[in-house]
Amino acid sequence: MLLRHGETAHTEQRRFSGSGGDDPALSERGLAQAGQAASALVAGRHGIDAVVTSPLARCRQTAQAAADRLGLPVAVADGLRETAFGAWEGLTFAEVRSRYPAELDAWFASPAAAPPGGESFDDVTARVTRTRDELLAAHCGRTVLLVSHVTPLKTLIRLALGAPHEAVFRMDLAPASLSATAHYTDGNASLRFLNSTTHLT
């Protein structure tokens, strides 16, 4: 089960908010969204056995809301952190387009391209893949709630589908949305559902 964190001030302002800048907490609306997601997880009887989160504050808060309702501890996996956006941290898309047009075009064109001082999609894919494999080995046969960010979650979904890198630009994951993938002992995986927001009001 995959849960994106609730809103922060950066989410509302559509700013690049990764793991290389400040570490914003959930906004008031984000806290409410985390509570709504937690309620949905309990009501849905998904049989969650463990909760694992990105180390960043917005995810830890979202994960704790769910763990409290589920009666589970929260574990932290550094590999679930958001992309480090380098010089783009805290900027809006329009500001990045204005200040770094060539770098932005390269970032869209190639998963090997990175924001100045930041991580590429290839970098993120490598660490997310390692983290996924570690979690699958540690929790074989169990249902785990992963609380993370847009890029790591889209990457997990893309990998489950066997889709190309460009798929990350063709998915929408709203704040506090739920998605689910299933992983099988033969190494195959499938997408159960994507970007469910019916629990949000």
The structural domains of the chain, with segments of one domain joined by +, span: 2-196
Using left for φ > 0, alpha for ψ between -120 and 50, and beta otherwise, residue 118 falls in beta
Residues with active-site annotation: 5, 82
* Per-residue pLDDT reduced to its tens digit, 145-188: 999 999 999 999 999 999 999 999 999 999 999 999 999 999 99
In words, the CATH class of domain 2-196 is alpha beta
Task: Measure CA 88 to chain center.
Answer: 18
- The answer on whether 130 is annotated among ligand-binding residues is no
Q: Name the pairing type of β-strands 2-4 and 178-183.
A: antiparallel
Angle between the N-to-C axes of helices 121-138 and 150-161, in degrees from 0 to 180, rounded to the nearest 10: 70
Question: What's the mean per-residue pLDDT of the chain?
Answer: 96
**Residue 87 in this model has a pLDDT that exceeds 80:** yes
Percent of the chain with pLDDT over 70: 100
pTM over 0.85: yes
